[in-house]
Amino acid sequence: MSESLQQQLQQAMSEFTKQQESLIRARDEVAAMSVTMRSKDRAVEVTVGAQGEPTALRFLNNKHQTMSGQALALSVLEVMTLAREEIARQVTGRFEEVSGMGLGVAGSNLNDLNLDRLLEPLEGEGLLAGMRLGAEEPGESGSAKQQ
């Protein structure tokens, strides 16, 4: 392997490690997120966690006592939907700030997000072979930098 290719690989690994650390910080921040929303009729308040799971449900000002069961159910479902949409927007936004991959992870279970797996393609001959092929192709930025 040429020294230039080795330097490029080391720089790529360093940049990737920084990106992975940013993703880990973002994942930890997202795991601690929650959103509290009120229904339009201001009768119900719901708090959801980062996965959209309800963590609190409050009936405000005893308004629920004068509501029909159907109206109360609609109010709860409405505010639950709004809260889940808002937390999804915040989670997506946070991951997009870091990497542009927010849409790919926002709907997933964040506990199952294995950031270490992101390094797997960089190990072994697969990357090196790909980099050699890329360096041999005319017009590639990697080959233009080699001297």
C-beta separation of 54 from 43 below 8 A: no
Q: 87 burial class (0-12, 13-18, 19+ CB within 10 angstroms)?
A: buried
Asked whether residue 29 carries a pLDDT value surpassing 70, the answer given is yes
What is the tens place of the pLDDT at every residue in 81-119?
Answer: 999 999 999 988 888 887 755 445 444 555 555 555 654
First to last CA, the chain: 14
3-class secondary structure, 46: strand
Element (H, E) at 129: helix 125-136
